[in-house]
Structure 1
Amino acid sequence: MEGTAFAPALEGMKNVKSEEGEMLSKPFLDVCKQLLPVIDQFGAAMALVEIEAKNADASSSCTNGLLWLTRAMDFIVELFRNLMVHADWSMSQLAMKLAPDRQKFMEVVGGTGDISSDIEKFCSTFRPLLEENHKFLASVGLDDLKAN
């Protein structure tokens, strides 16, 4: 792997906004998708952020999907930020008993790059995109939507 597991997402974030500064759906979704190999390294513990929609009712609308994807990504960003802030945390302290050993996880996602730097860059660059999603969702009255 060239660089860290975060490298594709960091590169993809450069294309998330149009020249006019508007969020572009496909590039945003691509960045989220590029994080799947990183999230997979947590094992079954991260199954809680997966959502599958197999019907076409109102709860599977694009806006609802954006809401839950944004919430899942909020969780992921906060998790990675906390991994950097609290270097002494073990994975079990994160309520992830099924997750791999912290050192092994960092080695696997670190690849040939500076994993701490890439996680910091990812969190600081991706957080504003999520905040923009929250503003949009609030503007249509959905940011405080609760699960059924």
Structure 2
Amino acid sequence: MNVGTSYKPPKHLVGQPDGLLATLSLPKQPVDAHKETLAGFSYEVVKKLSTMAKIDEITIFQLANITFTKRKIKSENVLSSEQSIKLYVFIRTLDATLQLFDGDFSTAIQWLKSPSRALGDESPILMLSTPPGVEAVMDLIGQIKHGVIP
């Protein structure tokens, strides 16, 4: 990413004002997101993300740190509120990371899995298990986006 150049959204997100969240029909506003995560996301969100990212559903659950019984989730067709919260955090973080890498899912996921000196040599994906960890990752993404490399 060149400093001083304007951001050009990835082609597949053009026309989607809120990026990945809008593409997956998930709310961006915190109050709406709160309500939807408590109600539980449809399993369709995982299927859509799997298709878009070209990674299998099990990997999405692993990346989002969600323990699950695939048979149970598929039969109920809805995630628990705890699973939905973890998935929402992962998708929000992935969305921010995709903006750094011009919509390249494989590069974004690789970055999330790689240790970062700015995060105490922890990988961003492992930091998503706590609210302070999520905040640290989102802060780091914001710093990189604005050319401030810690």
TM above 0.5, yes or no, is: no
Q: Which has the higher contact order (CA 8 A, sep 6+)?
A: 1
TM-score, scaled relative to structure 2: 0.33
